[in-house]
Structure 1
Amino acid sequence: MNLNENFNILLTPKKIKKKLDEYIIGQEKAKKILSVSVYNHYKRIIYLNNNQDNNIEIKKSNILLIGPTGCGKTLLAETMAKILQIPFVIADATSLTEAGYVGDDVESILQKLLQNCQYNISKAEKGIIYIDEIDKICKKSENVSITRDVSGEGVQQALLKIMEGTIASVPPQGGRKHPNQPCLQLNTSNILFICGGTFDGLKKNINKHYKKNIKIGFNNFINNNINKKKNTNLNDITSKDLIRFGLIPEFIGRLPIIVTLNHMNQNMLCQILCKPKNSIIKQYKKLFLMDNTILEFEENAIIEIAKQTLKNKIGARGLRSIIEDLLLDTMYNLPSMNNVKKILINKFVVQKKINPIIIFHQK
């Protein structure tokens, strides 16, 4: 998609979601919200480019993704950028510090974005920046301290301007800015920021807050039921909940779209293994075909891999580790073997962590 061309080339929300469905299993609501949000974001850019004398300012809407480890937050943002063919960069919030302190300052994110599009400023200014582990830069405490919170509230303050839109000075070769150094000028007004985090403990904080407000008596029966609903999920999370968790109000104001993602269940993990265009099993099958060998997973093996992944509590990202461990010895030995027709993995191979079954060509 070339945003400098006619508006008609921009994919509709339905088409964006359909493409997301090819790579991402589940998370239907999140995919729908993201599809609409990203469509509106780039529709806004095209409108601004074609209507210089407009009298209605359409504000940018950055996005906050909240969900457990391995639920697909990063994959959603990354896949969206691939679908739209726009520059994309992932930054880790835990590596960022306030300007002037040891660590990466926020301009380093913009520098990486420029690197990813060969320093094409026009392309970078329409890119997507995904900031992971954003919950790790929450304020350490509501109490004022003489010690600056350079990796918490300080980073939130530093991110405010570039997330809202500013002309940032970025060193062309990376590193920190210094006096008299020539810098590239990058307008961040049209860069879409997507922030993601697990927000461990958020549900507990919400429950604690609402329990304080539960009153005794029949007249409060309805209110108490509402509180119970709040206790069961994060779908109704509010800005106030996030502020109590440690994000400052100004920072939350730059993230008006809040999307919650669900835990992966066994069925979703089984589908992730097999169904997407670039599913993990399809990737390994392709690798084995390069050695003229068929790789086959029985259905009971796929179910067992999903069960083990759930047990490990690391979400979909744990699937590859399990398969890699299962196939390591086979991948080591196979290139030196002759006459191998098929490698078969059943549930006993997964359960007992034994070598896969090797089937040879008949002579």
Structure 2
Amino acid sequence: MSDKNNKNILYCSFCGKSQHEVKKLIAGPTVFICDECVELCMDIIKEENKNSLVKHQEGVPTPREICTILDDYVIGQTYAKEVLSVAVHNHYKRLSHESKNTKGVELSKSNILLVGPTGCGKTLLAQTLARILEVPFTMADATTLTEAGYVGEDVENIILKLLQAADYNVEKAQRGIVYIDEVDKISRKSENP
């Protein structure tokens, strides 16, 4: 008789728990899923949606969306995240308008200079921006840069690294982020005889 009862017990097709071990077991055409697995799947989907920005008609995420995602990865630096979010939004909006050849509309280009002590999150902010915007990222040390590249590294090498990060896709590299670190050390280096 117990053999007959075991045949009537239903199990979750994902985790293998029986109907008696879970609150609810939902039946599909050929499979079953328990409430715990559904909740786990919802958490996974929620996390994936959080990591990808909502694309609008223009394909440009809003500053608030950018800042919200930065808040998930970078603690503190509220003002820097807000300024970066607006600057990044405006930058990609400008790129979007340029590709549409909109006459009469001019959006100015801006570069960003992050200043702060070692370990405050400047590099993390830039890397996180690149990751959430799904654009290539490269980093260069300003102290090794030279005009012609005779001794150190020249600008062409930085762009080459960006192109490599974009898997040699020029269009993707054009939307990438170049992060130049240690700019403050250039003046100290030039002060020494």
Q: Please give the range of the TM-score, normalised by the shorter of the 2 chains.
A: 0.5 to 0.7
Q: Distance in 2 between matches of 1:118 and 1:78?
A: 17
1:1-363 maps to which residues of 2 (within 5 A)? 7-50=57-100, 52-138=101-187, 140=190
Q: Is the 8 A contact 2:138 2:165 kept in 1?
A: yes
The list of structure 1 runs, each at least 4 consecutive aligned residues, that deviate by more than 3 angstroms after superposition, is 5-9
What does residue 272 of structure 1 align with? none
**CA 1:39–1:100: 2 relative to 1, 3 Å:** closer
Q: Distance in 2 between matches of 1:92 and 1:38?
A: 22
TM-score (norm 2): 0.66
Consecutive unaligned residues of structure 1, counting only runs of 5 or more, are 142-146, 148-363
In structure 2, give the amino acid aligned to 1:46. Answer: S
Q: Distance in 2 between matches of 1:100 and 1:71?
A: 30
Q: Distance in 1 between matches of 2:99 and 2:56?
A: 11
In structure 2, give the amino acid aligned to 1:44. Answer: R
- Give the SS at the match of 2:114: strand
Q: Is the 8 A contact 1:7 1:43 kept in 2?
A: no
In structure 1, give the amino acid aligned to 2:133. Answer: L
Q: Distance in 1 between matches of 2:93 and 2:168?
A: 24
1:97 deviation in Å? 1.4
Q: Is the 8 A contact 1:11 1:39 kept in 2?
A: yes
1:137 deviation in Å? 2.1
**CA 1:125–1:101: 2 relative to 1, 3 Å:** same
Identity rate of aligned residues, in percent? 55
Q: Deviations over 1:76-130 (max 9, x none)?
A: 0000111111111111112211205211111110000000011111111111100
In structure 1, give the amino acid aligned to 2:63. Answer: P
Consecutive unaligned residues of structure 2, counting only runs of 5 or more, are 1-51
Q: Is the 8 A contact 1:81 1:128 kept in 2?
A: yes
Greater relative CO, 1 or 2 (CA 8 Å, sep 6+): 1
Q: Is the 8 A contact 2:58 2:93 kept in 1?
A: no
In structure 1, give the amino acid aligned to 2:91. Answer: H
In structure 1, give the amino acid aligned to 2:128. Answer: T
- Give the SS at the match of 1:138: helix
Q: Which is richer in strand?
A: 1
Q: Is the 8 A contact 1:98 1:105 kept in 2?
A: yes
Q: Is the 8 A contact 1:13 1:39 kept in 2?
A: yes
1:53 deviation in Å? 4.8
Q: Distance in 2 between matches of 1:33 and 1:62?
A: 12
**CA 1:36–1:6: 2 relative to 1, 3 Å:** closer
State the aligned residue count: 139
**CA 1:102–1:133: 2 relative to 1, 3 Å:** same
**CA 1:100–1:85: 2 relative to 1, 3 Å:** closer
Greater C-alpha radius of gyration: 2
1:8 deviation in Å? 4.0
